[in-house]
């Protein structure tokens, strides 16, 4: 069941060119120099066409949000303005790089399930390619130097996205979060906690190794989803009618509603996927491991790009809620509650 409850893993690595000032204090000439060097390296390294590189200003807001929803762009970079910010996409989304955001370089990668070790192999390879031609700011005592102290050292942030609605509704996440702090880890809601989706991550990148960071995040995530399994079993054992009613109502709403907000859609998908995992919903067309894919599919930018196409008014248009409802009706048309 871990593959059903650990929805995704992600890594970011922050790096800076050793001779250039950090982006937040750099002038335009310095930013341009870094951007041009990085772009030249990306276009030369690897096989032809592996990297798609473009100026951030050239990416329309809906495309930025689409990449953000896929875990291939950070919120701060998506909201960035100013010249000489570049964005590179590696092998269609296997990894990405932000240039001249908070740091000169931020490498990103993510994947479904518990795959931190595999992701590290990918991002480490890209990092090595860049470092052969771009000397990084590095100190023997402090490690890789970054614009934010907490990122210095390894420069690595590891994330595990977990689906824990049972722990959320029973009020146990507060105590869990406090326990994580004592381990140097953090717990933060994704989508403001809608659907019971949270991320476990390391709070500091200093004084440890990349392997220990990924192992700590993976171990903490596994422990939390074990607790989620226990809570779900207890809730169903103590009040099976209430659990079935909650899941059945969610399915009925998703199959019949004509306007669904983003938060409501996430909550509906969450409840339905709990039903799939517990065997209470049949013929949904989605496996227990598809929770995050369904949740991303009903995000505003995904709906505009995948369902509507160009020419749509924008992400805040009320029609997005109608498109979301229509998408849920179509995706879940054949699903039914187990009798």
> Can you read off the two tokens belonging to residue 269?
């998908």
Give Cα separations from 200 to 71, 213, 288, 295, 321 (angstroms). 15, 11, 20, 18, 29
- Give the whole-angstrom CA distance, residue 14 versus residue 7: 24
User: Which among 230, 264, 284 is the end of a domain?
Assistant: 230
24 and 173 housed in the same domain: yes
The yes-or-no verdict on residue 1 having pLDDT over 50 is no
Q: What is the pTM of this model?
A: 0.93
In this structure, the answer to whether residues 311 and 222 fall within a common structural domain is: no
Residue 187 has pLDDT above 90, yes or no: yes
Q: What is the CATH number of the domain that holds 83?
A: 3.30.590.10
pLDDT digits (tens, 9 = 90+) for 212-249: 999 999 999 999 999 999 999 999 999 999 999 999 99
176 and 38 inside one domain:
yes
User: Is residue 282 domain-resident?
Assistant: yes
17: DSSP letter: B
Instruction: Assess whether 310 and 204 both reside in one domain.
Output: no
Please count the residues of the chain: 339
The pLDDT-based confidence of 83 (bands split at 50, 70, 90) is: confident
Last residue of a domain, one of 230, 252, 273: 230
Which pLDDT tens digit goes with each residue over 129-155?
Answer: 899 999 999 999 899 999 998 899 999
Q: In angstroms, rounded to a whole number, what is the distance separating the alpha carbons of residues 241 and 152? A: 51
Could you read off the pLDDT of 271-294 as tens digits, one per residue? 999 999 999 999 888 887 899 999
Count: domains in the chain: 2
Does residue 84 carry a pLDDT above 90?
A: yes
Q: How far apart are CA 137 and CA 129, in angstroms?
A: 16
Quote the DSSP letter at residue 310. Answer: T
> Do 79 and 162 have their domain in common?
yes
CA atoms of 186 and 205, how far apart (whole Å)? 13
Same domain for 131 and 176:
yes
191 to 68, 108, 257: CA distances (angstroms): 12, 19, 21
7 is written with which tokens? 């929805």
14 class by beta-carbon count within 10 Å (0-12 exposed, 13-18 middle, 19+ buried): buried
User: Terminal CA-to-CA distance of the chain, rounded, Å?
Assistant: 23
17 within a domain of the structure (yes/no): yes
Q: Are residues 29 and 111 in the same domain?
A: yes
Widest distance between CA atoms in the chain? 67
318-339: buried (b, 16+ CB within 10 Å) or exposed (e) per residue? eebbebbbbbbeebbeebebee
> Tokens representing 233?
């079993």
- Measured CA to CA, the distance from residue 289 to residue 207 in angstroms comes to 35
Rounded to an integer, what distance in angstroms lies between the CA atom of residue 11 and that of residue 14?
10
Compute the average pLDDT of residues 293-315. Answer: 84
Boundary of a domain, candidates 230, 250, 271: 230
Q: Report the 10 Å Cβ neighbour count for 207.
A: 11
Assess whether 91 and 158 both reside in one domain: yes
Tell whether 235 is covered by a domain. no
Residue 317, number of CB atoms within 10 A of its CB = 14
294 and 168, same structural domain?
A: no
Q: Tell me the residue range of the domain where 312 lies.
A: 240-337
Question: Got the DSSP string for 212-242?
Answer: HHHHHHHHHHHHHHHHHHHHHHHHHHH-HHH
**Residue 196, in any domain of the structure:** yes
Residues 154 and 216 in one domain: yes
Give a yes or no: residue 125 inside a domain: yes
My answer on whether 264 and 322 are in the same domain is: yes
d(CA 305, CA 66): 8
Residue 61 lies in a domain: yes
Give the three-class secondary structure for 86: strand
The rounded percent of the chain whose pLDDT value lies above 70 is 97
Give me the chain's average pLDDT, please.
Answer: 93
pLDDT digits (tens, 9 = 90+) for 156-175: 999 999 999 999 999 999 99
If asked whether residues 124 and 265 sit together in one domain, one would say no
Q: For 12-31, how does the pLDDT look when each residue is reduced to its tens digit (9 = 90+)?
A: 999 999 999 999 999 999 99
Q: Give the span between the Cα atoms of 114 and 220, in whole angstroms.
A: 12
């Amino acid at each position: 069941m871990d593959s059903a409850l650990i929805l995704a893993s992600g890594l970011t690595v922050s790096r800076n060119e050793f001779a250039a000032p950090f982006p937040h204090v750099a002038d335009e000439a310095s930013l341009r120099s870094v951007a041009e060097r990085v772009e030249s390296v990306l276009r030369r390294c690897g096989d032809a066409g592996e990297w798609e590189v473009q100026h951030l200003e050239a990416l329309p807001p809906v495309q930025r949000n689409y990449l953000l929803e896929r875990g291939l762009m950070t919120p701060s970079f998506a909201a960035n303005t100013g010249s000489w910010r570049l964005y590179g996409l590696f092998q269609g989304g296997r990894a990405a790089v932000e240039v001249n955001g908070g740091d000169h370089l931020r490498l990103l990668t993510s994947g479904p399930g518990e795959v931190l070790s595999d992701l590290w192999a990918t991002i480490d390879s890209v990092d090595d390619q860049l470092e052969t031609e771009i000397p990084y700011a590095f100190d023997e005592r402090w490690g890789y130097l970054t614009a934010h102290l907490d990122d210095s050292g390894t420069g690595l942030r590891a994330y595990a996205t977990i689906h824990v609605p049972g722990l959320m509704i029973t009020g146990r996440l507060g105590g869990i979060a406090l326990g994580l702090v004592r381990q140097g880890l953090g717990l933060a809601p994704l989508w403001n906690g809608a659907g019971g989706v949270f991320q476990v991550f390391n709070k500091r990148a200093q004084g440890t190794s990349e392997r220990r960071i990924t192992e700590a995040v993976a171990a903490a995530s596994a422990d939390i989803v074990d607790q989620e399994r226990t809570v779900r079993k207890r809730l169903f054992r103590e009040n099976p009618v209430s659990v079935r009613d909650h899941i059945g109502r969610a399915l009925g709403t998703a199959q019949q509603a004509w306007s669904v907000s983003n938060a409501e859609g996430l909550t509906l998908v969450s409840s339905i996927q709990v039903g799939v995992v517990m065997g209470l919903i049949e013929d949904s067309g989605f496996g227990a491991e598809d929770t995050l894919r369904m949740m991303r599919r009903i995000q505003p930018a995904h709906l505009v790009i995948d369902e509507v196409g160009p020419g749509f008014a924008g992400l805040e248009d009320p029609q997005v809620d109608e498109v979301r409802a229509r998408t849920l009706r179509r995706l879940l048309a054949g699903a039914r509650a187990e009798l």
